[in-house]
Chain A
Amino acid sequence: MRQDRNRDLGPFVPREGDERIICRCEEVTQGEIRRAVHDGMYTMAEIRRYLRCGMGLCQGQTCSRLVAGIVARELGIKPAELAPASSRSPMRPIEMKVWADEETDDSKVRRA
């Protein structure tokens, strides 16, 4: 859903729990996420790129729901109104050497 970028969110007011880690992988706190919204990051995609939350090893498995809740609350909307971040391959952590060395023939033997 498109967000109204001209809306006035009011000043950033520190809140209890701002020091708490939300994205465990990239160690992003509630306060950082809330501040990012006030900095103009209104979508999950923007928040991800700005703070890297949800872009660590686990790819947002644990935190994406939590981050969406914080962003939505800051914007004064329901989490369901927030467009979810895009889904892209690879869905699980993979080493670049494996990702790039793509097997196109079936000559290699797979482990049963």
Chain B
Amino acid sequence: MATQTQVKPDPQLQSRRGTFDVLQDWVTTVDHKKIGLMYIAYALIFLVVAGIEALLIRIQLAIPNNTFVSPQTFNRLFTMHGTTMVFFVGMPILFGFGNYLVPLMIGARDMAFPRLNAFSFWVSAFGGILLYCSYLSGFGLYGAGTAPDVGWFAYAPLTARVFSPGHSTDYWTLSILISGIGSIGTALNIVATALCMRCPGMKLGRMPLLVWLYLVTSGLVFVTISPLTAAQIMLCIDRYLGGHFFDTQAGGSAVLWMHFFWIFGHPEVYILVLPAFAFANEIIPVFSRKAIFGYPAMVSASVGIGFISLSVWAHHMFTVGMGPGPNAFFTFSTMVISVPTGIKIFNWLATLWGGNIHFTTSMKFAIAFLFQFLIAGLTGIMLSVSPFDWQLGNSYFVVAHFHYVLVGAILTMIFSAFYYWYPKMSGRMLSEKLGNWHFWLFVIGFHLTFDFMHIPGMLGMPRRIYTYEADRGWALLNQIVSSGAVFQAVATLIFVWNLVASYFKGEKAGPDPWDAWTLEWSTSSPPPSYNFATIPTVESRRPLWDRKHPEEPDELFE
């Protein structure tokens, strides 16, 4: 599989091309790097859109009995916000980074199935566009033909034809079904690439941790997205062919949908968080100037998290009335998953210990990730205690918890990844000055919003309510929460500006601006379409460390 031939760049390709040629190049490309960038750009657009939806939600909730938006509009806003963020921001951006980095990090020229890669991207993109077409449909009888308003988990029987006439639920179902096909395709590609395309010498035990984590993530995708696909097919059968899968009037079960959805839904959040761990595993060592502490433990913990995450789903259903046995079991399995997760946090801590920590913007975000993920994990432990969840489930405490993970851990680590790999992808450094503004505004806004959001939950505020009573004592807290959203919005705009401006005016990055150790830094920035002039051969986990420190290469100590 490995080729050792030299490839000379074609001079004809370097002549100026018209807009149409550029467009055609991007639309028909099968190059993993271009596809990765398209995933990332697509996700950023939806990040801004879903962020606006969040802002509208927060404006409506800032004062009790507000009339900024109607209840129908509000219900659409939170459904679209959740659905967009999970499926059309989280998944694409993480697959985008995976697409870009995995072949480079294992010394390959492309993914295992480049055409499948392109197909997966366009199918996913179509799904997202389909969802947003729902906004263009007309208003009608009770949600007919408009954006979905059933919540991102679309519990049955609210989604049955009788309770959701019109097509709002269908937009939800079909757009996710279609983009799910794309997700499975990408995951298949990542697994096949990581297992079959590694450069010589790169045994599995020498793969960068990022590749390991993407391998586990992709494995999860196969057994996770499929249950959702199955459940959505069942929902379509109910809605269009008169089936009774979730038809409680015909003896069907609403709880069955919940089981199927959460068998998808819980591992899904691990699909979203494992890539964040992947980034942390690469970024924290480089800016601590130390190898990652406990590589084998990190691999085992990641694989362990993957497996255990398949057994915890019904902790979303503690209040459904499953009985004490299942409640106790799922409490236990959820608590158990904290053990490998804790191992990872401690290993990162140990990596920092004794190091020489450089606080670049990327590292600042990674540090924020560590603190915030710690808190998120702890509130998760609180929620795993099912009696506690009987109070806090479906309240703003849960909303605060999962936003702590999604924004405080995942999005924060995504920002870190941007600052770290943008030089490689574009050849320019992002502005550290703008990055500083981005970081501090974002962290302040994040904590204003999501720290305080825990309290209304503990004071009895349920989620998914378009307004609340003035006498509940939630008003001041909601105002603080809403104010934080403004900071985060401004910070995100600064970030987007940084991305665009640095592309034209940023300081030129060389191939290796961070003095890092994995293979992607051994090629130019941006890499040529063939990635490496010669396929490398590796001797250890940090091939570039070996080259830079020939007197103490990793392989002697690993």
- Co-complex (A, B): no
Interface set of A (CB-CB < 8 Å, partner B) = none
